[in-house]
Amino acid sequence: AEQHVNARFVAEIAGVGLRVMPEGGSVRGFVTAEEIEMKVRRLMIGDEGAALRRKAAELGKIARDAVTEGGSSFEALKLFVSE
């Protein structure tokens, strides 16, 4: 139900992906093979895809750091459990 919200977050806010738009721009339409091909090419070829992969790797490191001992999520959960 919230897939379009998640897609917008990934592409526009986190900056780690490209939105795949259905025909006609509606969130309820069908995605064409041409749209998929275009987005895959953008991800796999050129500077744009490389930048998105770099950003995804950076966010992955931040997430891993947060859940390791001493990380923000680790410490928040530890505090929650102790209360």
Greater confidence (23 vs 70) lies with: 70
Total Cβ atoms within 10 A of residue 5:
10
Q: Is the pTM of this model over 0.85?
A: no
Segment 25-79, tens digit of pLDDT: 676 789 999 999 999 999 999 899 999 999 999 999 999 999 999 999 999 999 9
**What are the tokens at 52?**
């998105």
Domains and CATH numbers, the chain: 3-82 (3.40.50.2000)
Residue 50 pLDDT: 95
In this prediction, residue 49 carries a pLDDT of 94
